């Protein structure tokens, strides 16, 4: 059976992507949660991954003796191993577009990712309003998302980016949670897409478990100083 190493569900956006992909696609896997204590060389997190992950990071997919340690590589491997799940669009042009936006997410949207770290359990709308006012990079990233998602939803007819669930939706699921956490303003049709993604059984399972963790890590919480404080 596949084994997926992940970090805290409340904070680990990169872990969320392959976990949601596998869960929503109905692919069996064993989850190994490696708690974020710190990322120092002598941390329990690094010690647990030593000898398993060549980068010392999560997510990490293990299949027998094979370890795959990058989210895009994991997505490609899973799609190849389970072609019947149609995790990439069947059409060549749509598939290329889906891979392009996945790669853009992988390397881009640094304003949004840096200023609005994933925190599913929190309600940070007040912080989000200030971020929106003061951070042009966040506004630019959200505008790019609106343009991208609008075009894809219109072209493929929804309800998801390429009609049915694909790697692309799993890849943007953490962004959907950020939009909700920080109350970032988006048009109604984009907000509706966000809600549809968050309602997917695989995404909803991750969200439910993230909210149940109650594991406050101050180095992951730039906008809160105590657990569950506003």
pLDDT, tens only, 188-199: 999 999 999 999
55-105 pLDDT, tens digit per residue, is 999 999 999 999 999 999 999 999 999 999 999 999 999 999 999 999 999
The answer to whether 5 and 51 have CB atoms below 8 angstroms apart is no
pLDDT tops 50 at residue 230: no
What residues does each domain of the chain span?
A: 2-85, 92-213
Task: Name the strand (E) or helix (H) holding 30.
Answer: strand 29-33
CATH class (in words) of the domain with range 92-213 = mainly alpha
114-156 pLDDT, tens digit per residue, is 999 999 999 999 999 999 999 999 999 999 999 999 999 999 9
Superfamily of chain region 2-85? Glutaredoxin (3.40.30.10)
Q: pTM for this structure? A: 0.94
Closest CA to 73 of 9, 17, 12: 17
Number of H helices, E strands in the chain: 10, 4
pLDDT of residue 226: 61
Say how many C-beta atoms besides its own lie within 10 A of residue 105's C-beta: 20
């Amino acid at each position: 059976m596949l084994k997926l190493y992940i970090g805290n569900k409340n904070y680990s956006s990169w872990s969320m992507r392959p976990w949601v992909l596998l869960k929503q696609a109905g692919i069996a896997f064993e989850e190994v949660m490696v708690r974020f204590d710190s990322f120092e060389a002598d941390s329990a997190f690094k010690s647990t991954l030593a000898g398993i992950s060549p980068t010392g990071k999560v997510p990490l997919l293990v299949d027998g003796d094979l370890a795959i340690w990058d989210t895009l590589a994991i997505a490609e491997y899973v799609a190849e191993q389970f072609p019947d799940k149609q995790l990439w669009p069947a059409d060549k042009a749509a598939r290329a577009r889906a891979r392009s936006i996945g790669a853009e997410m992988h390397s881009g949207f640094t304003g949004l990712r840096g200023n609005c770290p994933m925190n599913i359990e929190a309600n940070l709308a007040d912080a989000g309003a200030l971020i929106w006012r003061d951070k042009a990079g966040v506004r630019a990233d959200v505008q790019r998302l609106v343009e991208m998602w609008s075009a894809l939803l219109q072209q493929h007819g929804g309800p998801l980016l390429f009609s049915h669930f694909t790697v692309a939706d799993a890849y943007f699921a953490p962004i959907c949670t950020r939009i909700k956490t920080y109350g970032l303003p988006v048009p109604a049709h984009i907000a509706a897409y966000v809600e549809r993604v968050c309602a997917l059984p695989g995404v909803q399972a991750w969200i439910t478990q993230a909210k149940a963790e109650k594991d406050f890590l101050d180095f992951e919480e730039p906008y809160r100083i105590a657990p569950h404080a506003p």
